[in-house]
Amino acid sequence: MDYKDTVKIMLDRGLIKKHKIDFSQIEALMLRAQKDIVAAKANLEIDEEVTYNYAYLAMLRCGRSIVFMKGYHHLIIKSPDIDKSERICC
């Protein structure tokens, strides 16, 4: 399955929607991700778990910014029960 197939499936399932690209939103996410990395580094010697959390948040924000750059926006899934047979990959 390639990128276009994955996007089509996600659009069909209502996981993402087309969205006008807003570079101020992308910039804000990237700046926040940079702050998360600084916080992760600052906490490395103090609390390893906190470091992982901040690093994870930074990656999440970068990933969201890529989605936004591609002209999409995620939708909130209201049900916590996600059928594993409905997974897109992995």
Q: What's the confidence (pLDDT) of residue 90? A: 42
Residue range of the domain that includes 67? 27-72
Q: What's the confidence (pLDDT) of residue 78? A: 63
Strand pairing partners for 18? 72
The total domain count for the chain is: 1
pTM: 0.76
Place of tokens 């999440």: 60
Helix (H) or strand (E) holding 18, with range, is strand 16-18
Q: Alpha-carbon distance 87 to 84, whole Å?
A: 5
Residue 39 lies in a domain: yes
Q: Alpha-carbon distance 16 to 14, whole Å?
A: 6
| pLDDT tens series, the chain, 90 aa | 898 999 999 999 888 899 999 999 999 999 999 999 999 999 999 999 999 999 999 999 999 999 999 999 887 766 555 555 555 554
Residue 14 lies in a domain: no
Residue 82 lies in a domain: no
Residue 38 lies in a domain: yes
